[in-house]
Amino acid sequence: LELGGKSAHIVCGDADIDAAVESATMSTVLNKGEVCLAGSRLFLHQSIQDEFLAKFKTALEGVRQGDPLDMATQLGAQASKMQFDKVESYLRLATEEGAEVLTG
């Protein structure tokens, strides 16, 4: 299913939420999201949405950011100022269109 973009995570109501959060977190930050399998969409069953988002927020806030050459780093810097600005523009657009920023 295309589901509006690449790499959707579909989490059903009976899913192992902790495993789904871990998978979504790592696919989101892997190589700064600059890979074809980077998680770009979440489709959550309504019955687990609040629990999933709370755990996902906590997991993302715990991601170790830093020097990409350091093995302990889970999320390095954007490749360039141009890429950073592009990401920032998407965040601005999303909030202008009604998105709620949960962290960051």
User: Which residues participate in catalysis according to the annotation?
Assistant: 2
How crowded is residue 83: how many other Cβ atoms within 10 Å of its Cβ? 13
Distances (CA, A) of 81 to 29, 32, 34, 62: 18, 14, 15, 24
Element (H, E) at 44: strand 41-44
